[in-house]
């Protein structure tokens, strides 16, 4: 019987500032085996890098913090190598919280694994049809509730979630303005993803550009970044405008809470609404969303950009790419 090595990154310290390799410990141990009914052993193929992982490392949030010494939590896609659960079988491709490791031994009932649809490339399954695509879909449609003709502004617009938000908004008949850093992202947003306009927050005055590009105000601001950009968007909120809180990447690597949005009282003057959501609450409805997203992607209506790095040993530095803005679209790490 072959002995499989299970390489892992375990959490070693809670980050206060920027996340880095010093917060993890590399461990190699023997891979686990299925021992009880209901268990599934999955060989990780790809890991998903998501800003929310920074929060999981630091404190209890909508999920308990990763414990010190525990394998770093991460979404991933893998192939089932052993199963004593009736819904899963060897060779099947599944998606779920596999962690930063080669092999994940999971309880098939509680692990909420989803099966990767036939005929979909893994990077698409993990981006537009994965957690970030679903985040875009439910966040925009259920929390933002766009109507044709409205102006939608998205921050982190070239990222995995933001790029899908903007393209769904376009498909719903909205005018879409994306905010992202750097000329390449700017070009991609306008030329490939067909946003109506883009703002390069590194070179441009975001508040001034929003005033130019949204003369009637912002009906929906989908926020992935927090900080000053959230404040600039609040200042331009239209009557009955909505702010969808999806994340605040600008604040995730601060050692303490950043300043709050000073312009929050515009919610009062404009009768606006600022609302947060967590995609885990919508996973029961993932089927409908994945089907619709898949139609859009296959028809070329939604363009997907995926940034694939290689090697489990690079997991910490690949996660870090999200916070330096180095990633182009969905950040993945191929490990097998």
List contacts with its own copies (CB under 8 A). 61-62, 226, 231, 245-248, 251, 257-278, 281
Closest distance of CB 110 from its own copies, Å: 20
Closest distance of CB 228 from its own copies, Å: 11
Q: Is 265 left (phi over 0), alpha (psi -120 to 50) or beta?
A: alpha
Closest distance of CB 258 from its own copies, Å: 7
Which C-beta is closer to its own copies: that of 150 or that of 223?
Answer: 223
Which C-beta is closer to its own copies: that of 77 or that of 143?
Answer: 143
Identify the CA nearest to 49 among candidates 335, 250, 334, 333: 333
Closest distance of CB 286 from its own copies, Å: 17
Which C-beta is closer to its own copies: that of 4 or that of 273?
Answer: 273
Cα separation of 166 and 270, whole Å? 23
Which C-beta is closer to its own copies: that of 115 or that of 267?
Answer: 267
98 DSSP assignment: -
Q: Which residues, in sequence order, are CB contacts of 178 under 8 Å at separation 6+?
A: 153, 154, 157, 158, 162, 163, 166, 189, 193, 195, 197, 198, 199
Say if CB 156 and CB 180 are below 8 A apart: yes
Cα separation of 102 and 205, whole Å? 45
Cα separation of 55 and 10, whole Å? 15
Closest distance of CB 36 from its own copies, Å: 33
Long-range contacts made by residues 83-87, C-beta under 8 angstroms, separation at least 24? 83/34, 83/39, 83/40, 83/41, 83/108, 84/34, 84/36, 84/37, 84/38, 84/39, 84/40, 85/37, 85/38, 85/39, 85/40, 85/109
Cα separation of 308 and 132, whole Å? 15
Closest distance of CB 193 from its own copies, Å: 25
Which C-beta is closer to its own copies: that of 149 or that of 259?
Answer: 259
Which C-beta is closer to its own copies: that of 60 or that of 118?
Answer: 60
- Given the DSSP bridges, would you call strands 237-245 and 306-310 parallel, antiparallel or unpaired? unpaired
Which C-beta is closer to its own copies: that of 62 or that of 89?
Answer: 62
Which C-beta is closer to its own copies: that of 253 or that of 318?
Answer: 253
Closest distance of CB 276 from its own copies, Å: 3
Closest distance of CB 263 from its own copies, Å: 7
């Amino acid at each position: 019987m072959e002995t499989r090595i299970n390489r892992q990154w375990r959490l070693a310290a809670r980050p206060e500032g920027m996340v880095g390799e010093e917060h993890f410990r590399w461990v190699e141990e023997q891979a686990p085996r299925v021992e009880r009914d209901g268990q599934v052993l999955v060989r990780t193929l790809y890991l998903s890098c998501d800003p929310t992982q920074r929060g999981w490392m630091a404190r209890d949030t909508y999920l308990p913090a990763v414990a010190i010494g525990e394998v770093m939590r991460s979404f991933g896609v893998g192939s089932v190598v052993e199963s004593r659960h009736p819904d899963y079988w060897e060779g099947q491709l599944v998606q779920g919280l596999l962690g930063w490791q080669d092999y994940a031994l999971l309880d098939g009932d509680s692990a909420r694994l989803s099966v990767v649809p036939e005929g979909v490339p893994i990077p698409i399954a993990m981006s537009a049809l994965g957690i970030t695509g679903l985040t875009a879909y439910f966040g925009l449609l259920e929390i933002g509730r766009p109507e044709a003709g409205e102006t939608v502004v998205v921050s982190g617009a070239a990222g995995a979630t933001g790029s899908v938000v903007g393209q769904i908004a376009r498909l719903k008949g909205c005018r879409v303005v994306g905010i992202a850093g750097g000329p390449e992202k700017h070009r991609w947003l306008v030329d490939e993803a067909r946003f109506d306009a883009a703002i390069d927050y590194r070179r441009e005055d975001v508040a001034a550009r929003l005033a130019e590009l949204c003369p009637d105000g912002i009906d929906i601001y989908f926020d992935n970044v927090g900080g000053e950009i959230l404040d600039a968007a609040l200042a331009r909120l239209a009557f009955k405008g909505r702010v969808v809180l999806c994340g605040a990447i600008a604040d995730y690597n601060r050692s303490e809470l950043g300043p709050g949005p000073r312009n929050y009282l515009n919610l009062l003057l404009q009768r606006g609404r600022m609302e947060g959501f967590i995609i885990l609450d919508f996973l029961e409805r993932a089927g409908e969303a994945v089907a619709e997203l898949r139609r859009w992607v296959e028809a070329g209506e939604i363009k997907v950009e995926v940034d694939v790095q290689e090697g489990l040993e690079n997991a910490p530095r690949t996660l870090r790419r999200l916070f330096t803005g180095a990633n182009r679209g969905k950040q993945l790490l191929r490990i097998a």
